[in-house]
Amino acid sequence: MQYRNLGRTGIKVSPYCLGTMMFGAIANADHDECVGMIHKALDFGINFIDTADAYSQGESEEIVGKALKGRRDEVVLATKASLPMSDDPNHRGGSRRWLTRAIEDSLRRLQTDYIDLYQLQRLDTETDIEETLSVLTDLMREGKVRAIGTSTAPASDIVEAQWAADRRGLARFRTEQPPYSILNRSIEREVLPTCQRYGMGVLTWSPLAKGMLTGKYRKGGELPDSLRVKYFPKAMTDEGSLDAVEQLIPLAENAGLSLIHMALAFAVTHPAITSAIIGPRTPEQLDHLLVGAEVQLSDELLDQIDQIVPPGVDVAPLERAAYIPPAIAQTSLRRRALMERAVI
């Protein structure tokens, strides 16, 4: 396993990061099986594990905690916070009130006294970024966190956070976790160059485009019975994505690769990418993903991929998972108040 630098943190991590979103009630509630998968990944040489408090409402973190008993020092452990953990409006976000509670909950579930990488699963636009960075800096000084990062943040917010940290002498975000795959390449335009400029590590999620790059979803074929179809019906039936897949499959076959292994190798080829997060649900899926860990793509093959999906372009819709700026998501920010319009 060729380990890579996680930005400029001095931490070395594997090119594959084991994602655990599928561990728990959402997909695989068999704790023993999930623990076994984590152990297999560690034995293979993967030393990077990513989870989140919101994954099955903490159950994923509990499974990871069980698996790391006696092996904690082998692992670069990443988790995330900020998504809702209950109906209480204060049990979410990037406030000092919530993050000081959220970190303690995660540490308890993970059965550890520190987190290597603590990430905001989504930036909280209702909380001043200096407030958020201030509490994260305090958590680092207390020894509960080693490094901090963001997830699915636009380049402009990454830059503003870096400036705020510099202005106030606060800890700065060292990593970003965006979506990236052959079918989702828009981060190549601004996010990846911005991360390189600030020396940030990048761990990408959904390198298989929510499963579209597994080869199970074919144009004109029947949809498989899967969680992805349930949660992402538009994404899994998108005509543009299916058209691209039909061109990518023979390309992979001609190179002697499966579509999955070509897609994963693509995701870790970009020089700005540190690790790609793999998210298996079953031991069989994990085995298949690990088989392709040493695959490297030639420049010729990468050029052919570029012809199918041009650099910087999103073909697949990031349904329910994309970052949508408040200025777009909130109707009230796009329309003047009724009384104001009446005056005008």
Active site residues: 55
Q: What is the DSSP string of 113-153?
A: S-EEEEEESS--TTS-HHHHHHHHHHHHHTTSEEEEEEES-
CB 207 within 8 A of CB 263: yes
Selection from 183, 220, 150 nearest residue 309 by Cα: 183
Q: Rounded to whole angstroms, how far apart are CA atoms 171 and 89?
A: 27
For Cα atoms 77, 318, 243, give the angle at the middle one, nearest 5 degrees: 120
- Torsion-angle region of residue 184: left (phi > 0), alpha (psi -120 to 50) or beta? beta
The residue type of 13 is V
Query: Are residues 174 and 203 in contact, defined by beta-carbon separation less than 8 angstroms?
Result: no
